[in-house]
Structure 1
């Protein structure tokens, strides 16, 4: 057994690290499913969406905008009508998508 470990220890460690990394990555990607997706309407900004959902998240407006930019791959707060963005507001069962600014 010692000969096998000596010859393949790096392989075993690499497989273990890869497995752990894939489990952590899967858990991270599954987290985005718990948040709602909003559809952007004409004239809306990320700041307005942060204000609209202020009572439903625990972030400051700056943190909210930064989170949305990072998670949705947005550069420079540029959003367009029809874009669907994941926002850090927990989805209720059966309500994964909303129109931003619509009555809730």
Structure 2
């Protein structure tokens, strides 16, 4: 009986590379689909001193969430910790983009 050579054969290497490529494609597709789901929401650019709680209060008329639920939604949608936001960040908030066009005050 012959011993198998150490290392991967060409076919094994191609199978592994193909599998990794498929995983990357699936991951990118899922991220893109998730991002598209938030297209209808308002985006707010943070200024120095802004907090997610202040944003929740400012847009209170345009959403029907408690402050805690609003903050949790923003953290999940933006993949952030609300305690670690900085000026210049842009956040998606749970307010329909057309709600700001219908009279809810846009953040200046």
Query: Which bracket does the TM-score occupy, shorter chain normalised?
Result: 0.5 to 0.7
Please give the secondary structure, in 2, of the residue aligned with 1:92.
helix
**Deviation >2 Å, runs of 4+:** 28-31
TM-score of the superposition, structure 2-length normalised? 0.59
Is there any run of 5+ residues in structure 2 with no aligned partner, and where? 1-28
Greater C-alpha radius of gyration:
2
Deviates more, 1:70-79 or 1:43-52: 70-79
Name which of 65, 69, 90 aligns with 2:96: 90
Q: What RMSD over aligned residues (CA atoms) do the two structures have, in Å?
A: 2.4
TM-score of the superposition, structure 1-length normalised? 0.61
Contact 1:72 1:85 in 2 (8 A): yes
Match of 1:71 in 2: 77
**Displacement of 1:64 after TM fit?**
0.3
Alpha-carbon separation, structure 2, partners of 1:44 and 1:101: 11
Is there any run of 5+ residues in structure 1 with no aligned partner, and where? 1-21
